[in-house]
Amino acid sequence: MFSLALKNILFYKGRSITTCILTFISTLFFIVYVAMMDGSHISMLNNALKIYTGAIEIYKKGYRDIGGNEYLITDVKSLENKLEKIEGITSYTSRYETYGLLSSKELSSATMLVGINPSKEIKISQLKTALIEGSFLKDTPTNCIYVGADLVKKLHIKLYDELAFIGSASDNSFVADIFKLCGVFKTGSFKFDSTASFVSRSYLNELMYSHNRASYINIQVDDINNVETINSKINQVIDNEYESLSWKILMKSMVEAMEVDSIFGYISMALFFVVIFFVIMIFGFINVSSRIKEFGTLRCIGISKNDIKALLFYEIFILSTVAIFLAAPIGSYIAYYFSLNPIIIEGMSEMYKDYGIVSDEVPLSFNLFTISWNIVVIYFINFLSIIYPIRFINSFKPIEATRHV
């Protein structure tokens, strides 16, 4: 049956070429589309993680639910020494967050004041990259403050103006100080840019009595896909009073949004494949209908219904295989190339900065497992398309088929 199927493919060249082209386009489009969709999700996630939230964060249990100085990490150096020994962690830093009132000469606004290690923060987040005016913080103990653009607008201040801060220290005592506005940043997140302000920890530690203390430790990893494995290792070495949480928990709303986006993406893809399926099936049905006498003759010389099924199966299998073996390497190469060299859309980050997009790059995702199941889906659709033509041709009796006009 296989050799006969091959002869039929070569004989019916028009049908064979058309089926191959449809399968080729479907395979190539499917691989590239899924790679682009997955790549956009990875890019969205990386953008979000680079702005401020880490891939993993360590908290004292109760801090996220209750908060307050009673739930601060009180042995930062000990935890950081343990993190040094864990493979897969590229960088980490501790942050001290407190809330208070930030005031200019005329206006006041609530703020989240964060003590950071500037040299470490550069490796963790894009706070320095988000700079739009002035300069980023330094490790030296100065009273410079780095403020979000929307908060600056709220307070009606300009670079190097003085700001008064009132809040509470880590021991719940009252604190007040005067800061100088040295830099302004814009990440694109209105909520963040309208509330956040940063000061060097070397200065804030003296003000807040926060030496060796932190609200949490922020961690970045070498491969975001291995975050759960690394997070498990961290939980094994830290004390029970602490918890290590991955971005899947920290950014649950984004995870859900990406899942919804994927669902709609696959629905759109499904509609495309429904069209392709019916085109291939109708084309196959027309082809089979024109060969009723041929199949009737084969049945008369002893070919069974199962042999007819095998014949048509081999025909679609050969055509699908040829098309997929041409399309899969091309689609894989496109996905691989643009995963290393993302598509650059100039001005995209500025256009969509209000939505948290901080990069002009649109990468594709190269994943052999994803490409493999893409290919399996194409095979399945093609095999499904010949079920009705097989049932139709086998509904004829051999003599009836040879007399069919």
Please report the pLDDT score of residue 92 as a whole number: 92
Average pLDDT over residues 227-235: 91
Average pLDDT for residues 151-160, to the nearest whole number?
Answer: 93
Distance, in Å, from the CA atom of 176 to the CA atom of 377, rounded to the nearest integer, reads 64
Q: How would you label 68-85 residue by residue, b for 16+ Cβ within 10 Å and e otherwise?
A: ebebbbeebeebeeebee
Residues 285-306, mean pLDDT to the nearest whole number: 73
pLDDT at position 355 over 50 = no
Angle at 226 between CA 223 and CA 229, to 5 degrees: 145
Q: How far is it, in rounded angstroms, from Cα 366 to Cα 39?
A: 8
CB-facing half-sphere around the CA of 99: CA atoms within 13 A: 6
Region 376-398: what's the mean pLDDT?
A: 80
Q: Select the more confidently predicted residue: 322 or 46.
A: 322
Is residue 299 within 8 A of residue 2, CB to CB? The reply is no
Length of the chain: 405
Higher pLDDT, 162 or 191: 162
The answer, yes or no, to whether residue 328 has pLDDT greater than 80, is yes
Please state whether beta strands 131-134 and 144-148 pair in parallel, antiparallel, or not at all (unpaired). Answer: unpaired
What pLDDT band is residue 351 in, cutting at 50, 70 and 90? Answer: low
Q: Would you place residue 157 in the very low, low, confident or very high pLDDT band (cuts 50, 70, 90)?
A: very high
Q: Please tell me the distance from the alpha carbon of residue 87 to that of residue 37, in angstroms, as a whole number.
A: 30
